[in-house]
Chains A and B, each alone.
Chain A
Amino acid sequence: MDFMTIIGNVFTYSLVHDMITASVPIILACMCAVISRQVNIINIAAEGIIMFGCFFGVLVSYMTGSWVLAVLVSVGLGMLISAFMALAYLKYNVNIFVLGLCVNMIGTSGTRFLLQTIFKTSGNFVSDKIVPIPRVNFSFLDNIPVLKSLFSGYSFTEWLVIPIVIFIWFMLYKSVWGLRLRSVGLNEMAAVTSGIDVNGKKLAALVLSGACAGLAGAHLSLGYSCLFIENMSGGRGFMGMAAMQFGGANPLWAAIGCVVFGFSNSVANRLTPYGIPNQFVTMIPYVATIIVLSASVVLAMIKRRKSESALKA
């Protein structure tokens, strides 16, 4: 098969649908990283909270048959875990990376333990009784396959992502609350001096970010798929963190970074059957993030040097 045919088969209009589906969990995980980054906390615990969100989403949906309740429980659990993290970080001065590392390891092995004790299976859990998040279908698009593929068949949480990102952006950049929150991240001592409750703001940011990660987990197990697999977060929490760095902690730019991740993932998936090494495609977003991160810091450094020399002259 020649190269152009493969390219033609890979880059079709349905790639857009794949790309959006793949990027939504990453966007939600990324919002977790964005909010905590705004108060200068690098939260690597998204991975673990997503695992708990996945498991409890499936559990509650299986037990009660209500996806709304499942999503709410996952979000609440995410908030609870990050409230505990905030207690450990703010009151007992635990290193935030140690905390994140431990939460991630507890998330992986704890859900495996719960899977084995509650459902008596290991590896994965599939059941007809799990009620997934409903998909939104537009029946009037059924006759036009291109538009149907582009706009129809997304789950409810996939549509919900757009208002969430815009809401977080609005809260951070257009509200007084957000201004104070960001000022904690930009200059903590100045924030204290102007009478802002620094620890309160950090607590609020961590709890909100936990809610986002919990939602990401519920979406991953009930919206993206309809089952629970061990390790199903698959590095999405870290991808979200990378995208946060890519977008400089601005929700809108970070969401675009997530779409880049989703795009490269779905292209890599589509290249696999053709025997083309897809590892480099998977690698691109990470390498790009490192380059963007370094470039932005180096540019800022050069700018500062220039302004310093201008002052001296």
Chain B
Amino acid sequence: MSENKAEKSSAVIRIAIAFAISAIALAIIITLCGHNALDAFYQMFYGAFIGKFNFGSTIENFILILIVGSAYSLTKRINYFNIGLEGCLYIGAMFTCAPGFLLPDMPPWIIIPLCLACGMAAGAIWSAIGGALKAFFNINEACVTIMLNYVAISLTDFLLNNTWSAHSAAPETPHVQANAMLPKLPLAPSRASVALFIAIAVFFFVWFVTFHTTFGFKLRHVADNPRFCEAVGIHSNLIVLGTVMLSGALGGLAGGCQILGVYGNFIQNFSLNSAFYGMLACLLVKNNLKLLPLSALFIAFTRTGGSGMEYYTGVPKSLIDTVVPILILFIAMDQMFDYKRFFRIFKRKPKTGSAVGSKQ
């Protein structure tokens, strides 16, 4: 837990080197494609922050990415690789939407919490499948949650085409009642809503739970040494299950905020892997909660700024979408940028740790 200062500063420098290399590579590729790199960067910045619509769109992306990133951060801490957040988002969105158009008109302060609570409960139950299989039978969570994503997408597909279909041309559900919609922020043409405050609350909730509660204390230790936890009386499998369900509930909330804040009804395939961007935000800062809002803002910036850049300079947005995962790979491989060892690269280093079990 306790890193010394020199180690921390060198980690920051390594991340900075990764950023710099990615930016330079991006500039070179843009130049090779025959565009002006500086102009492209300027348009990217302009497209993300200047003007009500641009800034509002960034906020709209930021909401989703921050909620999913916080949810992912919880499970990352127990080394549970939760790919299933996409599925939770779909299920949560569907079950947030359903009370919105099934129930009679109600005042906003009843219907909004009711809808979001339904979505969160659905997300928690959905993720509990993977969590229980991991906690009690130690079945690999990545395999199960990938498949549960597909099942969730098929399930919501079925619901919106049959039971809860709007009977319109497009595959979608009816609109939720007007009272259930979250009020929009004063960023008029964009779709950013007060879900921003929900997202910030979620972030502080996750931070508080992780570092200032008994549950968080147990959670942080279950990953390090589950057998020790069992020995001192912490039921590590229940902690795993609880964390995964909490994370799933937040995933469901993310879907709910998309429905009540942005779309108003459930449209087929509305998410398009957007949950993965939340996971990228968490991976970008190596699960450092203090930096998570910053990295969520960065990912949101690349998402909206990319569109602005494509519109004004013709550099494809997909280039930005390609460079962001590469940047995350660089940051994950940060030992590659060990600038201190760079000077000693020609020296033969002694082989250490060749035995596999020596780490355990």
Contact = CB atoms under 8 A, between A and B. Distances in A.
Interface string A97-140: 11101110110111011001100000000000000000000000
Interface stretch (A71-79, A144-152, A281-289): A281-289
A103 B276 CA distance: 13
Interface in B306-351: 316, 318-319, 321-322, 324-326, 328-329, 332-333, 335-336
A297 B139 contact: yes
Interface stretch (A12-20, A158-166, A169-177, A238-246): A238-246
A298 B155 CA distance: 26
A192 B140 contact: no
Interface in A166-208: 188-189, 192, 198
A110 B162 contact: no
A32 B240 CA distance: 30
A283 B83 contact: no
Contact of A277 (B139, B143, B161): B161
Contacts of A35: none
Interface string B140-152: 1011101110110
Contacts of A153: none
A256 interface: no
B33 A94 contact: no
Contacts of B318: 109-110, 112-113, 116
Contacts of A277: 158, 161-162
Given A44-B142, A277-B158, A101 B147 contact: no
Nearest to B357: A189
Q: State the main secondary structure of chain A at its contact with B.
A: helix
Q: State the main secondary structure of chain B at its contact with A.
A: helix
A88 B146 contact: no
Interface string B216-242: 000000000000000000000000000
B326 A102 contact: yes
A301 interface: yes
A203 to B, nearest CB: 15
Contacts of B357: 188-189, 192
A92 interface: yes
Contact of A42 (B137, B143, B336): B143
B66 to A, nearest CB: 19
Contact of A283 (B151, B322, B336): B151
Nearest to A244: B143
Given A42-B143, A293-B139, A283 B150 contact: yes
A298 B137 contact: yes
Contacts of B335: 92-93
A206 to B, nearest CB: 16
Contacts of A293: 139, 143-144
A285 B340 CA distance: 51
Nearest to B162: A277
A279 interface: yes
B170 interface: no
B33 A286 contact: no
B149 to A, nearest CB: 8
A297 B356 contact: no
Contact of B329 (A88, A198, A241, A286): A88
A31 to B, nearest CB: 17
A102 B151 contact: no
Interface in B32-90: 33, 81, 83
Given A97-B81, A283-B150, A297 B137 contact: yes
B154 interface: yes
A2 to B, nearest CB: 20
B316 A192 contact: no
Contact of A198 (B151, B158, B356): B356
* Residue among B139, B155, B279, B355 with most chain A CB within 10 A: B139
Nearest to B137: A297
Contacts of A188: 356-357
A235 B150 contact: yes
A116 B321 CA distance: 13
A110 B319 CA distance: 7
Contacts of A242: 143, 146-147
B172 interface: no
Nearest to A239: B150
A280 B158 contact: yes
B168 interface: no
Contact of B332 (A98, A189, A286): A98
A95 interface: yes
A42 B145 CA distance: 13
B138 interface: yes
Given A98-B283, A294-B133, A279 B157 contact: yes
B143 A245 contact: yes
Contacts of B322: 106, 109-110, 113
A29 to B, nearest CB: 13
15 contacts: A44-B146, A94-B329, A102-B329, A109-B318, A113-B319, A113-B322, A189-B356, A192-B356, A235-B150, A242-B143, A279-B161, A280-B158, A282-B154, A287-B147, A294-B139
The 5 A-B pairs with the shortest beta carbon distances in the complex, nearest first, are: A109-B321, A279-B158, A112-B318, A113-B318, A102-B325
Given A92-B332, A101-B280, A116-B318, 18 more contacts: A92-B336, A98-B329, A101-B83, A109-B321, A188-B357, A192-B355, A192-B356, A198-B356, A238-B146, A277-B161, A277-B162, A283-B151, A289-B147, A290-B144, A293-B143, A294-B133, A294-B139, A298-B137
